[in-house]
Amino acid sequence: MRRAYKLRAYPIRPQEGRAVRLLADHCDLYNAALQERRDAWRMRNLSVSYGDQSAQLKEIRAADPDGQGRHSFTAQQQTLRRLNAVFAAYFKRVRKAEKGRQQAGSGENLRQRMVGYPRFKPRQRFDQVLFVAGDGAKWESADGGRWAHASFQAVGRVKVGQHRPVVGRVKTLQLKREGRRWYVVVVTEMEPVSLPTTGRDIGVDVGVTRFLTTSDGEVVANPRFLKAAQERIVELQRRKQRARLGSGNRRRLRRALAKEWRKVRNQRRDFHHKTARGLVDTCDALALEQLRVAAMTAAAAGSVEHPGRNVAAKAGLNRSILDAGWGQFTSILVAKAESAGRRVVLVSPAFTSIDCHTCGASCGRPRQEIVVCPTHGELDADLNGARNIAARAGLGSGQASAA
């Protein structure tokens, strides 16, 4: 399996200038490859593949020795593969939208199923370049010390703060910019190390009021990081909108706003990692709902002909769901479980909250926190859902009976 380590980098001023030039040159390569694909299709109905564009790199580098020729050949290939992945995702969305139009018929509002074509990237938003270790990039571990070093072609040997050991064989290195900070993402390949068995198999129900509830009664509160920072973010956004375009004040406000969003993002990710680690260390198998978060958070505004209902309430719910970050938590939990030899089962979320976990009867839900079974009376909605999830996954938690 592969594991990624994100470490803070501290380039000196000349190295930072060269790193900015590196990102700019790779951005130009990305945009030129995108332009070639657009023109080939518009003018001649021809599809340009990654192999076609990779074969042109030798000529491009020879024609521009002080520009594209300065950089790692394999890193440039990774940038072209990145564009190829963007087009693969675009064609997948096109096929999905076409299938949806065919199923919905001619009465479908086609504006809701338009698929955006891949766009050019401005230099200020092209923030990462991927290198293959040993070919244009080299990793030097700290070996018990505080400082490691990462060397990148056309940038130099950059000092990196290594706050934890990097385990496994280094496969790729990624130089990444976030605002005014720089990071090195080290991806290693390692063998999973199985943890001792615990005899605990549980179902996990995620929510908004509580972040999660397990089938044996454990509850983790929802920290609501975005809600805590929302007042500051709204104030900075208001001041930024009022600042004059191109002014130094607007630039400072944009950086302050990015800092607040980065803080919320880091808090949420840290919470997800710690919560997932606690579950993986204490459970042999975990069952979760396979939630479609993108569909759950779709806008409720509707169209002019068919306006949505309770739009403000739906917008607030969407904000709470995205603040909880269920998708990121599931990805982190699955990765940690794989590295520890644990089992994760994803089940259908249909009716897990409103079916009684004991008898399977459909329950009423007079309030968000409870459901009422015709036979067994009031039940905790989240605990009932977690036990249904465990039963649906076939886990022997001792708390769920298959209905």
Per-residue pLDDT tens digits for 214-224: 999 999 999 99
Among 122-126, 294-298, 315-319, the least confident range: 294-298
To 5 degrees, how large is the angle CA 58–CA 62–CA 68? Answer: 85
- Token couple for 194: 């199985």
For the entire predicted model, the pTM comes to 0.85
Question: Quick check: 116 pLDDT over 80?
Answer: yes
Helices (H), 115-247: 225-242
Question: Quick check: 304 pLDDT over 60?
Answer: no
Question: Quick check: 401 pLDDT over 60?
Answer: no
Which candidate, 364, 348, 246, 368, places its Cα nearest to that of 291?
A: 348
- Cα-based distances in Å from 299 to 208, 224, 311, 313, 322: 18, 21, 8, 11, 13
Share of the chain above pLDDT 70, in %: 93
Which candidate, 318, 337, 323, places its Cα nearest to that of 275?
A: 337
pLDDT bin (cut points 50, 70, 90) of residue 336 is very high
C-alpha span between 302 and 304 (Å, rounded):
7
The answer to whether 159 touches 168, Cβ cutoff 8 Å, is no
C-alpha span between 361 and 324 (Å, rounded):
30
Backbone phi and psi for residue 382, each to the nearest 5 degrees, phi listed first? -70, -40
Question: Quick check: 113 pLDDT over 80?
Answer: no
**Residue 133, C-beta contacts closer than 8 angstroms, at least 6 positions apart:** 139, 170, 171, 172, 173
Phi-psi region of 386 (alpha: psi -120 to 50; beta: other; left: phi over 0): alpha
C-alpha span between 275 and 280 (Å, rounded):
9
pLDDT digits (tens, 9 = 90+) for 364-377: 988 888 999 988 88
Which candidate, 358, 359, 362, 366, places its Cα nearest to that of 350?
A: 362
Q: What pLDDT does residue 381 have?
A: 92
pLDDT digits (tens, 9 = 90+) for 33-91: 999 999 999 999 999 999 999 999 999 999 999 999 999 999 999 999 999 999 999 99
Phi-psi region of 327 (alpha: psi -120 to 50; beta: other; left: phi over 0): alpha
Question: Quick check: 231 pLDDT over 90?
Answer: yes
pLDDT digits (tens, 9 = 90+) for 13-41: 999 999 999 999 999 999 999 999 999 99
Question: Quick check: 265 pLDDT over 60?
Answer: yes
Q: Give the single-character DSSP code of 141.
A: -
C-alpha span between 277 and 98 (Å, rounded):
41
